[in-house]
Structure 1
Amino acid sequence: MHYAYAVQGNRLVPHDPDRDLGEALWIDLIQPSDAEMDRLRDLGVPLPDLAEMEEIELSNRLYRENGLDYMTAVLPGETAGGDRSSMPVTFILSVDRLVTVRHHSPRPFLTFPTRAERSTLGCGGPDRLFAGLMEEIIARQADILEGSGRVLDQTTAGIFERSTAAASSDRLQAALQGVGREAETMARVRLALLTIERILAFYTATIDDRPEADRLRPVIRAQMRDVQALEVHADFLGSRVSLAVDTTLGMINLQQNNTARILSVIAALFLPPTLIASIYGMNFTTMPELDKPWGYPLALAMMGAATLGTWLFLRWKHWL
């Protein structure tokens, strides 16, 4: 499946399917079929397959071939099944068009076509279109980090509340799972920022060959600064995740310790009465109290006094 766009005035509009695909400024392919790959090959744009896009070697993700620049980033998005995943997206840039190849749905590819004209340089050419799309992608990573920050604010606020000390284990487990999900999200964003930074560095190294190098250079530099600032923000959120995890685990340990303490106190209170009952249950022949009418009440009184004495001792020691 593919989407094609052309420029009409200052706006990016869907390309007329009846017209030649070679006239499109941006061709966005999603899980391209063999027929689509052959069609792009006829336009002089060989497409990499998913295995080639997933190669981690820098030479396989950033290279120039036959006048085309191939740049691959790993971006978070949704798969066809609705699951969140980070998968590679390849940007193929030529003097005539921009081609993107992806196998999942990062949100910027859905939102950018309707507001491409509002990007810094607009969408008047493939280089401007590429710069605007990268701007949208970077802004999306910032939105994801802000969302994770809000989730962490709510989670840590709930953990540090006084009532949390008596919170159920289910609530603490839910908090721990929520923090874990946000940590995974931030890891995906961190990987995306790293690969975007590599793309921008590669693009900067070849920018002198671009027709509008003077207009593009300050925009790409500003995007590099944005990426670096987001990387610092991601590191800060990572430290907050560690704090939230440590705090949640500490609360769980305190809750378990309180449970163990209560059980220990109950055992300590019943230990002296159990000792007394065990003595009078030994059934020796010579036990004078067994023949006395006051023997049974005396045993009960001794057990009650022992329990009360143990409780008072624990209170005096501030162990209760």
Structure 2
Amino acid sequence: MIFTHHPVSETGSVVLERRSLELQDTIHDDTLWLDMVRPTREEDLKVEAFLGITVPTREEMKDIEPSELLYVEDGARYMTGRVLSKVSDSEEPGLAGITFILKGNRLVTVRYEEPQAFRMYTLRAGRATGNGPAAAPSGETILAGLIETVIDRAADVLQLQGERIDRLSGKIFEVKEDPSARNTALQDTLRALGRHGDLISKQRESLVSMERILLSLSATYRTAKAPRELREDVRSTLRDLQSLEEHATFLSSKIQFLLDATLGLVNLEQNNIIKLFSVMAVVFMPPTLIASLYGMNFKAMPELEWQYGYPMAVVMMIVAAVLPYVFFRWKKWL
């Protein structure tokens, strides 16, 4: 599916109008943004013929080599980044590869998923962007707006994860008297921390890929002497992105601390169980020794002939079991 975006002036305000383009339709010359969502080979050929570019395939977009993610070919600048998105074949959010192609005054985006940031920017671009010629959109301003929206969305995700991690932190150190409830809570906490850590790791990877694109754009605009306003927007967006990376690093460190704390509590629970078995073994060791002595088949055992020999042995075993228990309680080992 191909979506085209055309500039439209309404009451002096410049907006982008979105149109769905079928394969047999003609691409208008005033098109500024071609958004290709899960394109077919025929749609790739149509765009390639219109702009004189080569649309990368889905396999090529998965390449991790920097030279395959950022390059210039036939006068077009290709930039591939990773954006956090709800992946179609998974229940958990994943990273979706998106290729941005700048050719002249036009932008082409190639993607196979539906990131929330794209929907947000499409709605924003359909509203008034300002008055006067300075507000006129172009492929470069659309690209800057898309990246800015991706970063805004990343900030929302990190803020939400931070709030969830804070709630988990309170639960980890909450005192529960019921051992079974405490063990269940620790297991649930470990799973939740794993999910949050995985999501933050993916978000950091997305931010790093966007940083590469912004650094490349910044160097290009500085060399080509692009409009100052555009260069300032890129630098400002880059600073915001780097601050988000620091925040993501802080959240990752906090998750690691909470993981260590949770595992420490799990070890304490295991130590308590092992300690209980050890104490029980020590408590029953003296009675076992007494029972073993009187279970020997020796003829010269005068206690066997005593009238109260059996009660005496039972009392000795009880006393031998109670004394270690009282000692452990006095030492507060139990």
Same fold, TM exceeding 0.5?
yes
Choose which of 135, 143, 154 in structure 1 pairs with 2:167.
154
CA change 1:307–1:244 in 2 (3 A) is: same
SS state at 1:319 partner: coil
Q: Counterpart of 2:110?
A: 101
Alpha-carbon offset, residue 81 of structure 1: 2.1
Alpha-carbon offset, residue 17 of structure 1: 3.9
SS state at 1:72 partner: strand
**Match of 1:112, as an amino acid?**
Y
Q: Counterpart of 2:2?
A: 2
CA change 1:178–1:16 in 2 (3 A) is: closer
Partner Cα separation in structure 2 for residue 125 and residue 49 of structure 1: 25
Task: Write the mapping of 1:240-251 to structure 2, written as runs, cut at 5 A.
Answer: 240-251=254-265
**Match of 1:146, as an amino acid?**
Q
Q: Counterpart of 1:41?
A: 48
SS state at 2:34 partner: strand
Instruction: Please tell me whether the aligned partners of residues 15 and 129 of structure 2 are also in contact (alpha carbons under 8 angstroms).
Output: no
Q: Which range is displaced more, 233-242 or 80-89?
A: 80-89
**Match of 1:287, as an amino acid?**
M
When the two structures are aligned, how many residues end up with a matched partner?
A: 320
Confirm or deny that 1:290 pairs with 2:304.
yes
Confirm or deny that 1:20 pairs with 2:26.
yes
SS state at 1:92 partner: strand
Alpha-carbon offset, residue 212 of structure 1: 6.3
Q: Counterpart of 2:176?
A: 163
Confirm or deny that 1:51 pairs with 2:21.
no
Instruction: Please tell me whether the aligned partners of residues 119 and 135 of structure 1 are also in contact (alpha carbons under 8 angstroms).
Output: no
Choose which of 252, 256, 279 in structure 2 pairs with 1:265.
279
Task: Note the residue ranges of structure 2 that are not aligned, 5 or more in a row.
Answer: none
Instruction: Please tell me whether the aligned partners of residues 5 and 12 of structure 1 are also in contact (alpha carbons under 8 angstroms).
Output: yes
Choose which of 183, 207, 213 in structure 2 pairs with 1:199.
213
Q: Which range is displaced more, 156-165 or 258-267?
A: 156-165
Confirm or deny that 1:114 pairs with 2:123.
yes
Instruction: Please tell me whether the aligned partners of residues 33 and 108 of structure 2 are also in contact (alpha carbons under 8 angstroms).
Output: yes
Alpha-carbon offset, residue 211 of structure 1: 9.3
Q: Which range is displaced more, 244-253 or 147-156?
A: 147-156
SS state at 1:7 partner: strand
Q: Counterpart of 1:90?
A: 99
Aligned-pair Cα RMSD in Å: 2.4
Instruction: Please tell me whether the aligned partners of residues 105 and 140 of structure 2 are also in contact (alpha carbons under 8 angstroms).
Output: no
Instruction: Please tell me whether the aligned partners of residues 2 and 20 of structure 2 are also in contact (alpha carbons under 8 angstroms).
Output: no
Alpha-carbon offset, residue 103 of structure 1: 2.1
SS state at 1:281 partner: coil
Q: Which range is displaced more, 111-120 or 35-44?
A: 111-120
Q: Counterpart of 1:187?
A: 201
Alpha-carbon offset, residue 96 of structure 1: 3.4
Instruction: Please tell me whether the aligned partners of residues 15 and 24 of structure 1 are also in contact (alpha carbons under 8 angstroms).
Output: no
SS state at 2:54 partner: coil
Task: Write the mapping of 1:295-310 to structure 2, written as runs, cut at 5 A.
Answer: 295-310=309-324
SS state at 1:278 partner: helix
Q: Counterpart of 1:124?
A: 137
Partner Cα separation in structure 2 for residue 164 and residue 215 of structure 1: 61
Alpha-carbon offset, residue 165 of structure 1: 8.9
Choose which of 59, 62, 72 in structure 1 pairs with 2:70.
62
SS state at 2:176 partner: helix
Partner Cα separation in structure 1 for residue 74 and residue 185 of structure 2: 58
CA change 1:198–1:118 in 2 (3 A) is: farther
SS state at 1:43 partner: helix
Confirm or deny that 1:11 pairs with 2:15.
yes
Alpha-carbon offset, residue 196 of structure 1: 0.9
Instruction: Please tell me whether the aligned partners of residues 88 and 102 of structure 1 are also in contact (alpha carbons under 8 angstroms).
Output: yes
**Match of 1:138, as an amino acid?**
I
Alpha-carbon offset, residue 137 of structure 1: 0.3
SS state at 2:43 partner: helix
- What is the TM-score of this pair, normalised by structure 2? 0.88
String of CA shifts for 1:33-60, please: whole Å, max 9, x gaps. Answer: 1101111111123201123222223222
Alpha-carbon offset, residue 105 of structure 1: 2.4
CA change 1:7–1:13 in 2 (3 A) is: same
Alpha-carbon offset, residue 180 of structure 1: 1.4
